[in-house]
Amino acid sequence: MQHDNLNEWLNKRMTPKARPDLAERIIFTALHSGQEKPHAAWGSLWNDLMSMVVIPHPSVVVATGIILGVVIGMQTGEGLSMLEQDWSSFLDVNEGGWL
């Protein structure tokens, strides 16, 4: 044994092989253990809040608003005319002057 040849000596060190099922055991254990979800940062919270406020497609929103306005407006118009009819009938009933 050449004592001054340390590298040669260390190179003789043998490494036992891992058991063949080691990788599968690790994979199986991981499958049954939870994975920690990343903590929500303030930046991502702010982004979430902004995404609730910011209108993604303004033109679509405006067009939808106009259509809904027209439809609701038309429905409201019919309601007014019916009210007018009701009021006029009330006046007709009051023609006798009892009110």
Partner 1 sequence: MGSVLASADDSDESLMRLIRSGSHQAFSILVRRHTDKFFGAAFHMTGSASEAEDLVQDAFLKIWQKPDIWKEDKGAKFTTWFYRILVNQNIDRLRKRQKMVSDNSMLPYVADSAAGPEMETAVNEEQRRIENAMAVLPERQRTAITLCFYEGLSNAEAADTMGVKLKALESLLMRAKAGLREYMNHNMNPLQGERYATR
Is position 13 an interface residue for partner 1 (rule: CB under 8 A)?
A: yes
- Exactly one of 8, 25, 47, 61 binds partner 1 (CB under 8 A); that residue is 25
Distance between CA atoms of 69 and 61, rounded to whole angstroms? 12
Q: Does 95 bind partner 1 (CB under 8 A)?
A: no
Per residue in 61-75, is it b (16+ CB within 10 Å) or e — as a string? eeeeeeeeeeeeeee
Binding residues for partner 1 (CB under 8 A): 1, 3-4, 6-7, 9-10, 12-19, 22-23, 25-27, 29-31, 33-36, 38
